[in-house]
Amino acid sequence: MHTQRPVRRMPRPVGFWLLAATLLAFLAASSAPSPLYVVYQHQWGFSPIVLTTVFAVYVLALLVALLTVGGLSDHVGRRPVLLAALVVEAAAMVVFLAADGVGALFLARVLQGVATGAAAGAISAGLIDLQPSPTSPLGSLLNTAAPATGLAAGALGAGLLVEYAPAPTRLVFVVLTAVFVVLAALVLFLPDPVSPRPGAWASLRPRAAVPAQARRTFLAATPCLVATWAMGGLYLALGPSLTAGVLHLGSHLVGGLVVTTLFGVAAVASLVVRDVTPQRMMTGGSAVLAAGTGLTLLALAGPSTTLFFVGTGLAGFGFGAAFLGAFRSLAALARPTERAELFASVYVVSYLALSVPAVLAGLAVPSFGLHDTAMVYGAAVVLLALLAAVSGAVVRRPAVVLPSAPAAPAAPASAGESAAGTGRYAVPAAASAPDRGPGSGS
């Protein structure tokens, strides 16, 4: 009689960096289509409203996934959720590869949104689970640096391929398909510290949950999340169009470079300010974001290409610092069995901020023009960033630090429980907010 050998898992440090690479790949794939939209629009002749809708369906699918399966890995484990997400993401790349019309773009973006939303909570929680030590800031740092790095790399890589490579609308997705297949094979050997526990089906009920002890900090961090990702949405949705239509730079590479500058500098900022307290990151970063956005508005009024890139870089630095501060202040407040749901809630707010203003801007362009729409959008980001700088001062060092050991599984909330009792953030509750703590990654 033969006994089945247990699967040998990779060491935890290797698993940690595999998760970081996977997060980077998901976000690179999400921004890769941005420089290609101009090519698709030229080939297939669709309107700017269709372009905006393609962007919107991706975010809608992502939000649905976050609200349903965003916390599933807290119940079934990180590995199964991540493996399923990678398979769906690879399928999305194949649909992009074979796309011959707008319908295929819609299908690919829906699949991509579902996959990214499913993976986001599992990866973010897994990075905190597998970080080198309970008090290490590395998990939070990579949770914020990897998305910005991925978005920058995806836009720049796609821009280079569009400008210089043969079959640009195909080659980028051949590369990405191969990447996701390899990642899926490696994830089979990922160590998973989360044991299956009851409540998996109940966790699929659409909701955005924030633990009671994190609600006050979550509320204070929300303006910061909205300001940073609204700026990201402006660049992802309209950045290449602004360089061509307002700054009169026709190169596809420059269109990708604008997006890369914002998110690339944001990634660098996460490394530069990693030893600063979360409160100072949020307040200082938001102020820098406001200043950088103001410079980009002056550049568009000029127009001045040099000033536009300087303002974009400054805004990117503020983006990276402010988002890291918000994320780290929240990561310290979640127990291991609460992490995926909390981080899913962070991403829900972030992606709503990324998408809703960008979609509205896309709808406004035909009536008000690209220049005026961008000016109003940018002014709104400046006001949000200033509000975020003020609200960031609410985040304070805690008197109590959460234990790093997993808490006992909680019973599924009944339909009659209040928002305050279930951990949803409809009713914020006062709670001290640590910027460091065991098991937090801060």
Domains of the chain, by residue range, sit at 12-192+208-398
Examine the pLDDT at 401 and tell me if it is beyond 80: no
12-192+208-398 — its CATH code? 1.20.1250.20
**pLDDT tens, residue by residue, 350-397:** 888 988 888 888 888 888 888 888 899 999 999 999 999 988 776 655
**pLDDT tens, residue by residue, 72-86:** 777 778 888 999 999
Contact yes or no for 342/73 (Cβ under 8 A): no
Strand partners, 424: 209
Percent of the chain with pLDDT over 90: 26
Identify residue 413 by its one-letter amino acid code: A
Strand partners, 209: 424
Is residue 409 exposed (0-12), middle (13-18) or buried (19+ Cβ within 10 Å)? Answer: middle
pLDDT band at 127 (very low <50, low <70, confident <90, very high): confident
Q: Is the dihedral of CA 253, 258, 261, 263 positive or negative?
A: negative
Q: Is the pTM of this model over 0.85?
A: no
pLDDT band at 398 (very low <50, low <70, confident <90, very high): very low
Q: How far is CA 201 from CA 73, 198, 206, 413, in A?
A: 12, 8, 11, 12
- pLDDT (average), residues 30-35: 82
Examine the pLDDT at 289 and tell me if it is beyond 90: yes
Highest-scoring range by mean pLDDT, 73-82, 110-119, 162-171: 110-119
pLDDT band at 46 (very low <50, low <70, confident <90, very high): confident
Task: Identify the helix (H) or strand (E) that includes residue 185.
Answer: helix 168-187
**Picking from 39-43, 137-141, 151-155, 299-303, which range would have the lowest pLDDT averaged per residue?**
137-141
Quote the pLDDT of residue 134: 63
Diameter of the chain measured on Cα atoms: 79
Quote the pLDDT of residue 434: 35
Quote the pLDDT of residue 208: 66
Stronger pLDDT, 23 or 244, i.e. the higher one: 23
| d(C-alpha 33, C-alpha 234), whole Å | 15
- Closest to 146 measured CA to CA, from 384, 320, 398: 320
SS3 417: coil
| d(C-alpha 112, C-alpha 96), whole Å | 10
Contact yes or no for 175/189 (Cβ under 8 A): no
pLDDT band at 195 (very low <50, low <70, confident <90, very high): low
| d(C-alpha 347, C-alpha 338), whole Å | 15
| d(C-alpha 125, C-alpha 74), whole Å | 9
| Other beta carbons within 10 Å of 2 | 4
Quote the pLDDT of residue 431: 32
pLDDT band at 412 (very low <50, low <70, confident <90, very high): very low
pLDDT band at 318 (very low <50, low <70, confident <90, very high): very high
| d(C-alpha 337, C-alpha 405), whole Å | 10
- pLDDT (average), residues 168-179: 90
Contact yes or no for 156/32 (Cβ under 8 A): no
